[in-house]
A and B are shown apart, each in its own frame.
Chain A
Amino acid sequence: MSKKEHDVSRRQFLNYTLMGVGGFMAAGIMSPLVRFAVDPLLKGKEGAKMVPVMDVKDITNEPQNKKFTVKKVDGWHKFDEQQIAYIFKKKNGDILALSPICTHLGCTVAWNDDPSHPNQFHCPCHGGRYTKTGINIPGTPPPAPLGVYKTQVKDGKLYLGEVISRGGS
């Protein structure tokens, strides 16, 4: 054997073969395991079902606090979750349903409960405030407007679906 033509030694060849076969087997074992573990990252989110919350005729210009339950699925755990919406008619007659989850750090805001700032949403945690349509007021902690529920009117009833974020967390 001339050295020039065979520059892969027997030892190298065996090493590569062994590493190749070993790597193939390791990958065969590890890939299902890793895919199994990262499944939550790759599972698509399913949109919330629309649920009836109140009669359209009862909606006023003043935000009303409405509680309703939605069916949630968390892996093998199914449960009812209570949600809150502030529902009112805007000046142009459109219905707006705001999520009360503060965009700062997630406390629950209340409508018009702070005498020094009437007709605003107020967050008790760090004094975040929002206008009636949920726009965060500059100079207060929240970085973004309150989320809005997807709305739908059917047979005189208002249905709410998932919360659509208007920026922020």
Chain B
Amino acid sequence: MLQRIYDWVDERLDITPLWRDVADHEVPEHVNPAYHFSAFVYCFGGLTFFTIVIQILSGMFLTMYYVPDINNAWDSVYYLQNQVAYGVIVRGMHHWGASVTIVMVFLHTLRVFFTGAYKKPRELNWIVGVLLFFVILGLGFTGYLLPWDMKALFATKVGLQIAASFPFIGDWIKLLLQGSDIVGAQTLARFFAIHVFFLPAALMGLLAAHFLMIRRQGISGPL
């Protein structure tokens, strides 16, 4: 059945070359854990992507119940976690997934560093990778405020204090992020917008650039 639908579309649109070009490439022996178990370190990039997919999916579903408003945010999170079926699991995926994502990015970066994969001709992809790391840290920071509990509030106050210590323009950065002279209604609305629209858009653009470059340059050689 599926095969016949595929053939029907393929006959008209010739889609096979499109995905073959992306999917058909050799996996070199030195990155295949079936040959050398230590090659599992090459999995961290893919695992990072996998956890990002989980973050995006679980985040999209959370926004079905979450409201970014100081009067309702905490209650909406409490409701979705305790009254909605599988709420604990969906929030748990996003909550723990956030930490797992950052750990995976870090391990992936270590692998790239210690295999020297950032060297010519892959300098540009290292730069994109560092930007991805910052975007993901930004998602972690802005997401942390959203449950609007005491931990969220005070963690954000500390985070903004750190931003304010930036030379010369620190106070300006803090005010821009805070959107107000206190961490309050406007901060929450702003962080929500950054968390679910701005940074995910940047994340997807950077990921596309990251993967295109990998496809062009291939995996770096063995040590």
A residues at B contact (CB < 8 Å)? 29-30, 32-33, 35-37, 39, 42, 75-77
Cβ–Cβ contact A75 & B93, under 8 A: no
Cβ–Cβ contact B86 & A32, under 8 A: yes
Cβ–Cβ contact A32 & B84, under 8 A: no
Cβ–Cβ contact B57 & A36, under 8 A: no
Cβ–Cβ contact B85 & A75, under 8 A: no
Cβ–Cβ contact A29 & B61, under 8 A: no
Cα(A77)–Cα(B76), bound, Å: 9
Whether B45 sits at the interface, judged by CB under 8 Å, is: no
Interface centre among B57, B76, B85, B87 (most CB of A within 10 A): B85
Cβ–Cβ contact B86 & A35, under 8 A: yes
Instruction: Summarize A's interface: helix, strand, loop or mixed.
Output: helix
Cα(A35)–Cα(B58), bound, Å: 12
Cβ–Cβ contact A33 & B90, under 8 A: yes
Cβ-Cβ contact count across A and B, 8 Å cutoff: 41
Q: Which residues from B are CB-within-8-Å of A29?
A: 54, 57, 93
Q: Given A39-B84, A39-B85, A75-B65, A33 and B76 touching (CB < 8 A)?
A: no
Cα(A35)–Cα(B54), bound, Å: 16
Whether B78 sits at the interface, judged by CB under 8 Å, is: yes
Closest chain A residue to B88, Cβ basis: A32
Which chain B residues numbered 56 to 99 have a C-beta less than 8 Å away from chain A? 57-58, 61, 64-65, 72, 75-76, 78-80, 83-87, 89-90, 93
Q: Which residues from A are CB-within-8-Å of B75?
A: 76-77
Cα(A35)–Cα(B87), bound, Å: 9
Cβ–Cβ contact A36 & B85, under 8 A: yes
A-B residue pairs in contact (CB < 8 Å), sample of 16: A29-B57, A32-B93, A33-B61, A35-B85, A35-B86, A36-B64, A36-B80, A36-B89, A37-B61, A39-B84, A42-B85, A75-B76, A75-B79, A76-B76, A76-B78, A77-B75
Given contacts A32-B90, A36-B85, 11 further A-B contacts (CB under 8 A): A33-B58, A33-B90, A35-B86, A36-B61, A36-B87, A37-B64, A39-B84, A39-B86, A75-B79, A76-B75, A76-B79
Instruction: Summarize B's interface: helix, strand, loop or mixed.
Output: helix
Kindly list the 8 A-B residue pairs having the minimum CB-CB distance in the complex, ordered from nearest: A76-B75, A76-B79, A32-B86, A32-B89, A36-B90, A36-B86, A33-B61, A39-B84
Q: Which residues from A are CB-within-8-Å of B57?
A: 29-30, 33
Pick the residue among B58, B72, B86 that contacts A77 (CB under 8 A).
B72
Closest chain A CB from B10 CB (angstroms): 17
Q: Which residues from A are CB-within-8-Å of B64?
A: 36-37
Q: Which residues from A are CB-within-8-Å of B79?
A: 75-76
Closest chain A residue to B58, Cβ basis: A33
Q: Which residues from A are CB-within-8-Å of B86?
A: 32-33, 35-36, 39
**Binary A-proximity of B29-65 (CB < 8 A = 1, otherwise 0):** 0000000000000000000000000100110010011
Cα(A140)–Cα(B93), bound, Å: 55
Closest chain A residue to B89, Cβ basis: A32
Cα(A75)–Cα(B93), bound, Å: 22
Q: Which residues from A are CB-within-8-Å of B87?
A: 36
Q: Which residues from A are CB-within-8-Å of B65?
A: 75
Q: Which residues from A are CB-within-8-Å of B72?
A: 76-77
